[in-house]
Amino acid sequence: MNPEYQDILLAHSNDIIHRWMNELEDSKLKEYKSTISDEMIEQVNREFVNMIFDKLKNDSSRESIEQFSERIVNLGWPLGYLTGGMQSFRSICIRTLIEKIDRHDPETFLQVMDDVNQWVDPIKNELIDAYSSNWSNIISLQKVALQELSAPLIPVMDGVTIMPLVGTIDTDRAKLIMENLLDGVIKNRADVVLIDITGVPVVDTMVAHHIIQAAEAVRLIGATCILVGIRPEIAQTIVNLGIDLDKFPTKSTLKRGFEKALEMTDRQVIKTNDHDDKVVDDIIQSIDKE
């Protein structure tokens, strides 16, 4: 940047900051004021403008830009806060320079615009790149977390595990269910796996096919699947579709499926007194809480 223009901007930095922060308060962050304090907004805005001026004075490292972008992503603020803020800052700097310099010919005006653009645009581009990178990292981590939660395998006792399924089952999720089932059966040395579809809203031909495939794969490595959570409407759908579920046991509830699993692993619940009548119920409730 032209040393003259740089000196003017630094000399009037307080005025530029004041005008810029007022514009920011009136624009992009209105929707956040109900959940974020004015002090927090002012603090972040101050960090924003200080970072820009640091870049002008000593060409601060990209690390500071990445840290600030990460902070914006973690706050959940939109990319528009950065792009709009930089655009507003650019306009204020241009107006300030035009007001303070003595020359007002078209050539000077164009030179001012070029110099400000050469200063602001690289910062804006670096901010957008850093924001996008941080956002992508968060999305990737969330996707991994959701995948882990979408097909959990819960060991409840030696030889017995449960996989509760909730939500729609598509091809990608069916693949994950298959992988988790096979890995979990081997890892936990399970003899019986209960697949609970109580939380699956629709069981159509594709969903039933995926479940049958999973059960067959588990059978091939020496374990047995019990399908539980067969609601009346699902039972009717399965019959109407002509889907064959004869190859593995089915139960209407997780409780009955668990009792069947105990029977298949040569266990039984023994009632010693009236207070122990809820043994199985307590076990099932503890599983549901998982």
Tell me: the pLDDT tens digits for 152-202? 788 888 889 998 888 877 777 788 888 888 888 888 888 999 988 888 887
Question: Averaged over 23-39, what is the pLDDT?
Answer: 62
Task: Say if residue 12 is in the same domain as residue 57.
Answer: yes
Task: Say if residue 144 is in the same domain as residue 159.
Answer: no
pLDDT digits (tens, 9 = 90+) for 114-153: 988 888 888 888 888 988 888 888 887 777 666 656 667 8
Last residue of a domain, one of 84, 113, 148: 148
Structural domains in the chain (count): 2
CA nearest neighbour of 167 among 182, 181, 177? 177
Task: Return the CATH number at 282.
Answer: 3.30.750.24
**Whether the predicted pLDDT of 33 surpasses 60:** no
Task: Say if residue 101 is in the same domain as residue 208.
Answer: no
Task: Say if residue 75 is in the same domain as residue 180.
Answer: no
Last residue of a domain, one of 127, 148, 169: 148
**Whether the predicted pLDDT of 229 surpasses 60:** yes
Please state the pTM of the whole predicted model: 0.53
Task: Say if residue 247 is in the same domain as residue 130.
Answer: no
Task: Say if residue 208 is in the same domain as residue 267.
Answer: yes
Lowest pLDDT segment from 10-19, 151-160, 163-172, 242-251: 242-251
Task: Return the CATH number at 34.
Answer: 1.10.490.10
Confidence of residue 34 (pLDDT cuts 50, 70, 90): low
Task: Say if residue 86 is in the same domain as residue 219.
Answer: no
Task: Say if residue 142 is in the same domain as residue 164.
Answer: no
β-partners of residue 3 are: none
Domain that holds residue 100: 3-148
Task: Say if residue 27 is in the same domain as residue 106.
Answer: yes
Question: Averaged over 88-105, what is the pLDDT?
Answer: 85
pLDDT at 78: 80
List, as one string, the DSSP characters of 123-159: HHHHHHHHHHHHHHHHHHHHHHHHHHHHS--EEEETT
Question: Averaged over 209-231, what is the pLDDT?
Answer: 85
- What is the chain's mean pLDDT, rounded? 79
Confidence of residue 27 (pLDDT cuts 50, 70, 90): low
**Whether the predicted pLDDT of 109 surpasses 60:** yes
CA distances 240 to 74, 169, 203, 288, Å, are 49, 20, 12, 30
**Whether the predicted pLDDT of 258 surpasses 60:** yes
pLDDT at 289: 55
pLDDT at 45: 80
Last residue of a domain, one of 148, 178, 209: 148
Task: Say if residue 180 is in the same domain as residue 116.
Answer: no
Neighbours of 95 (CB within 10 A): 13
Task: Say if residue 95 is in the same domain as residue 16.
Answer: yes
Task: Say if residue 278 is in the same domain as residue 168.
Answer: yes
Q: 3-class DSSP state for residue 99?
A: helix
